[in-house]
Amino acid sequence: MFRPALQIALAKITMVRLTPLLAAPLLLSAAPPAALPLQIVDAAGMPLGDAVVEIARPAGDVRAPAFRWRNAMAQKNLAFVPGTLIVARGTSVAFPNLDTVRHSIYSFSKPAPFKIDLYGRDQTRTQRFDVSGTVALGCNIHDQMRGYIRIVDTPYAARTDGNGLAEVDGLAQGTYTVTVWHPRMKGAGGEWRGTVTASPGERTRIVVPVRAIGAR
């Protein structure tokens, strides 16, 4: 017969052996948002910078358009910065004057004809854009200033860099309906439309027809 102290010790050992081991929690890191890599080039294979790439929503997609850049078109060094801005339809765009001279902003474009009277350095004006399309900007004081605002209805849009490269956030590889806009694009409204199929692990190249620099 076991002594009481030894019985207690064996009971503790038995309890330890019979207690199930709890699995360690599995830590999962959030996957980075998908991005669709693209390159826009002309017929000669030259990259096309400042082109706007828009991808139509896949069926059933209800994501609201929202972009990571500011809804602002500044005037700096007698130029619009950025030269091309993408915004969602219904957005109010800020026009901060970062120059030492005054500017007066205007547009005759059908989606949003407007005029902003003269205003000076460190002042800002705003304009709302409720119709999708392209708005060409000018300055009544400085004729050389040109800028563009592209108003879109899709959350899947991006502007190409100097190498014609862009990544459209929120999309995986697949087949999509694409619109490419550029001020030198041949075609109605400066747009090219088509369907592209993006292959896994590859940057999709889109060839578009454009006019030569200076051509009308």
Q: Is residue 207 part of a domain?
A: yes
Could you tell me if 75 and 142 lie in one domain? yes
- pLDDT tens digit string along 44-96? 999 999 999 999 988 888 888 888 899 999 999 999 999 999 999 999 999 99
Q: Is residue 20 part of a domain?
A: no
How many CA atoms, within 13 angstroms, populate the side-chain half-sphere of residue 131? 9
What mean pLDDT, rounded, does the chain reach? 85
Pick the more confident residue, 215 or 14: 215
Q: Is residue 41 part of a domain?
A: yes
Could you tell me if 55 and 161 lie in one domain? yes
Sign of the alpha-carbon torsion through 212, 40, 43, 210: negative
Q: What is the pLDDT of residue 170?
A: 85
Say yes or no to pLDDT of 17 above 90. no
Using the 3D structure, point to which of 105, 120, 153 is the last residue of a domain: 153
**209 CA to centre of own chain:** 23
Report the C-alpha gap between 92 and 70 in whole angstroms: 11
Could you tell me if 87 and 186 lie in one domain? no
Query: Which range of residues forms the domain containing residue 121?
Result: 66-153
Q: What is the pLDDT of residue 35?
A: 81
Could you tell me if 115 and 165 lie in one domain? no
Could you tell me if 189 and 116 lie in one domain? no
Say yes or no to pLDDT of 28 above 50. no
Q: Give me the mean pLDDT over the 161-178 stretch.
A: 90
Q: What is the pLDDT of residue 216?
A: 59
Q: What is the pLDDT of residue 2?
A: 46
Using the 3D structure, point to which of 153, 168, 194 is the last residue of a domain: 153
Say yes or no to pLDDT of 31 above 50. no
Could you tell me if 135 and 208 lie in one domain? no
Listed as own residue / partner, the contacts of 208-214 with beta carbons closer than 8 Å and 24 or more positions apart are 208/40, 208/41, 208/42, 208/48, 208/51, 208/180, 208/182, 209/42, 209/43, 209/185, 210/42, 210/43, 210/48, 210/182, 210/184, 210/185, 210/186, 211/184, 211/185, 211/186, 212/184, 213/184
Question: What's the total number of domains in the chain?
Answer: 2
Q: Is residue 118 part of a domain?
A: yes
Say yes or no to pLDDT of 164 above 60. yes
Q: Is residue 13 part of a domain?
A: no
Say yes or no to pLDDT of 16 above 50. no
Task: Please give the share of the chain, as a percent, with pLDDT higher than 70.
Answer: 83
Could you tell me if 185 and 196 lie in one domain? yes
Please tell me whether the overall predicted TM-score, pTM, comes out greater than 0.85 for this model: no
Q: Is residue 82 part of a domain?
A: yes
Using the 3D structure, point to which of 100, 133, 153 is the last residue of a domain: 153
Pick the more confident residue, 7 or 38: 38
CA distances from 178 to 96, 116, 194 (A): 32, 33, 5
Say yes or no to pLDDT of 124 above 70. yes
Could you tell me if 201 and 122 lie in one domain? no
Q: Is residue 25 part of a domain?
A: no
Say yes or no to pLDDT of 21 above 50. no
Could you tell me if 73 and 57 lie in one domain? no
